[in-house]
Amino acid sequence: EQTSTLHPLTPDAISAYDGACHVLLDNWTGSSTIPSHSLYPHQWSWDSGFIAIGQRHLSPLRAQQELETLLAAQWGDGRIPHIVFHPEVPLAAYFPSPDFWRSTTAGRGAGAGAPTAPETSGIVQPPIHALAAWLVHQADPDTSQRRGFLVRVYPKLAAWQRYLTERRDLGGHGLASIVHPWESGMDNSPSWDQPLAAVPPAAPGSFTRADLAHGAPCDRPTDLDYRKYVRLALDYRDHGYRDDLAPHPFAVEDPAFNALLIASEHALAEIAMEIGEDSSAHLVRAEECTAALRERLWDEDAGQFFSFDVRAGSRVRERSAAGLIPLIVPGLPAPVARALIDTLTGPHFGLGDITAMAPSYALTGAAFDASRYWRGPAWFNVNWLLERGLRRYGQPRRAAALRAAMLRAAVASDFTEYVDPYTGAARGSRDFGWTAALTIDLLA
Ligand code: 2M8
């Protein structure tokens, strides 16, 4: 995918570009980009992927550094941690902080090969990174080649994908499982209610949330959610983050996570070809994973993918937007792609009719909440993926309308984290990294 000059240079486009550039400049720390000064003052894994995709149009060098900094915190078993902590940020600024995760303490992360520095979390996030690296390279192949960017990141990205397809295939059907709701990136999605039901919550008052100092409680996960998040993370930590030892009471195959895994496996094949490595294993893995995604998670009656609860042995029949994100996967059979587009534009998600940007969870779902985080609000990264999917499956007009709606919403909301899907009202933190970055990408 080649980048082109900005178009069209309308006053609106210029002001969107200008505002988004300011956010990226302001959130840059010298080696990576924070999602937000208030809520998230460290480096997040999938945020950095989206941020690099936008940053490549502004500074291809910084976009490469963004991914390199993240990869420098990779663990010996191949995992990329979901947070890389900045040592100068006070512990109280974000919960859970490094003293909770203890990645560098002997016997905690050491068994899984955590680096001795920097401090990181021990869980992961959706694998957008190989796709991001490939897009970053294409934005400026000369700088990339001169710096040996692809040659250096390729083995790390391949090890990351291998970690997911091998150690995280907890269901044994060729899909990666997430072992914590935070690993989905869609923390309090209604899709996790059922798999979380049997998880005992940590004791109330055993930790202090930092998010409520910056975010409205009605926009954030509940205390009960947090108590379960804490319990799962502590159990994993106390098993040394070893996937062969940890009991993983929460193990779920998520369609969005696996769709990004597949898209990244295709990107790895492109990268391998570009640097003269053998690409065939990546293509085989992408195909196998796509077949498993369809066999295990596709629900023909619903016209979308559902998560699979590995512990319960059953599908979670909640209509999350995660179930539409496989639209980014190449080579879906035409009836599957058509059904996904119908679901996206029908009454459940209402795109183009009821909503300008797709909600994170169906408007018609029993758990829908227009304000609460991943239980309804519309997110820019999800819609950016859907926009790509619409283009991939022959819907350029719908894609253009979504692109225009996202640009309007981003500017009107000061690049907010998420918006009310009915009104477009800003929710969460402003000047948010991936909202700004993806605005730039949509303008390019
Ligand atoms: C949110 O998640 C973090 C935990 O990882 C949190 O709520 O503290 C999610 O929206 C996630 O997708 C995102 O990567 C992260 C940082 O923007 O914030």
pTM over 0.80: yes
Q: Tell me, which fold does domain 11-443 have in CATH? A: Glycosyltransferase (1.50.10)
Contacts 24+ apart (CB under 8 A), 62-66: 62/28, 63/136, 63/139, 64/136, 64/143, 64/144, 64/147, 64/149, 65/31, 65/32, 66/32, 66/33
Ligand 1, CB within 6 Å, residue ranges:
35, 40, 44, 46-47, 82, 182, 185, 187, 211
CA 184 / ligand 1 centre spacing (Å): 9
Instruction: Identify the weakest region by mean pLDDT among 32-36, 112-116, 215-219, 373-377.
Output: 215-219
Please write the tens of the pLDDT for every residue from 217-269: 999 999 999 999 999 999 999 999 999 999 999 999 999 999 999 999 999 99
Q: How confident is the model at residue 106 (pLDDT cuts 50, 70, 90)?
A: low
* Residue located nearest, by CA, to atom 11 of ligand 1: 185
Q: How confident is the model at residue 8 (pLDDT cuts 50, 70, 90)?
A: low
Residue 196 has pLDDT above 90, yes or no: yes
By 3-state DSSP, what share of the chain in percent is helix, strand and coil, each rounded to 5?
Answer: 50, 5, 45
* Residue located nearest, by CA, to atom 13 of ligand 1: 185
Q: Which atom of ligand 1 is nearest to the CA of 186?
A: 12
CB count, 10 Å around CB of 216?
Answer: 11
CA 159 / ligand 1 centre spacing (Å): 24
Residue 128 has pLDDT above 60, yes or no: yes
Residue 9 has pLDDT above 80, yes or no: no
Q: Which atom of ligand 1 is nearest to the CA of 95?
A: 8
The dihedrals phi and psi of 253, each to the nearest 5 degrees, come to -90, 115
CA–CA gap between residue 23 and residue 30 (Å, rounded): 14
CA 4 / ligand 1 centre spacing (Å): 31
Delimit the domains of the chain by residue range: 11-443
Please write the tens of the pLDDT for every residue from 299-342: 999 999 999 999 999 999 999 999 999 999 999 999 999 999 99
Closest CA to 344 of 356, 331, 330: 356
Residue 2 has pLDDT above 50, yes or no: no
Active site residues: 187, 417
Please write the tens of the pLDDT for every residue from 10-49: 888 888 999 999 999 999 999 999 999 999 999 999 999 9
* Ligand 1 pocket test, candidate residues 51, 128, 178, 187, most atoms within 8 A of CB: 187
CA 187 / ligand 1 centre spacing (Å): 7
Q: Which atom of ligand 1 is nearest to the CA of 125?
A: 14
Q: Is the peptide bond before 8 cis (omega within 30 degrees of 0)?
A: yes
CA 185 / ligand 1 centre spacing (Å): 6
* Residue located nearest, by CA, to atom 5 of ligand 1: 182
CA–CA gap between residue 403 and residue 376 (Å, rounded): 20
